[in-house]
Amino acid sequence: MPVIAPMPATRPTRVPSQRDGAGQPASAENAVAAGTTVDHLTETYRAHYRSLLGLAALLLDDTASCEDVVQEAFIRVHSARKRVRDPEKTLAYLRQTVVNLSRSALRRRILGLKLLSKPMPDMASAEEGAYDQLERDSLIKAMKGLQRRQREVLVLRYFADMTEAQVAETLGISLGSVKAYGSRGIAALRIAMEAAA
């Protein structure tokens, strides 16, 4: 059985046609380097983690993203370590992976900022929104304190925007009753809202 000598790292990975003992062509996998070993990758991690973190920090703005990018770069190179023919190029692969992952992170971030809805110029401030919410809560509480018919008339008249005739028809009461319940309900609401303020 012929012995195949390992090829130097500087030579191309193309293997001349050779035959093994059974007369079959020798596979290229046997003749080329096995790629970066796990031990070499671990050494590279220990020696260059901080420098790769610094590279990511130049491209990204927060430490958590930088750490994520560098960790992901090591995971990806580890998964593809057999394709790194020259172990001396492991660091170069890692640097390129860090740059590519940083670009992707920035793209996602920019896209997220573009998709965020922008507040309208006339949007109420947080204080105004809180005050409006308190007023609504007070109004709802005051409405719950009204008599049932007064509440029904006011809701249909002012919230459902019905005419007095439509309210009368909906509730099955006279137009005069709608007016009476409505005026008494508004008076009771006014008193309740002033007491709450």
Average pLDDT, the chain: 76
- For residues 153 and 37, give the distance between their C-alpha atoms in angstroms, rounded to a whole number: 81
Model confidence over 36-90: pLDDT tens digits? Answer: 788 888 888 888 899 888 888 888 878 888 899 999 998 988 888 788 778 788 8
Q: Within the chain, how many helices (H) and strands (E) appear? A: 8, 0
Beta bridge partners of 25: 19
The reported pTM is 0.42
Q: Report the pLDDT value the prediction gives residue 101, as an integer from 0 to 100.
A: 92
The model's pLDDT over 98-122, given as tens digits with 9 standing for 90+, comes to 889 988 888 888 877 777 666 566 6
Q: Report pLDDT for 29.
A: 41
pLDDT band at 21 (very low <50, low <70, confident <90, very high): very low
- Output the DSSP codes for 93-135: HHHHHHHHHHHHHHHHHHHHHHHSPPPPTTPPPHHHHHHHHHH
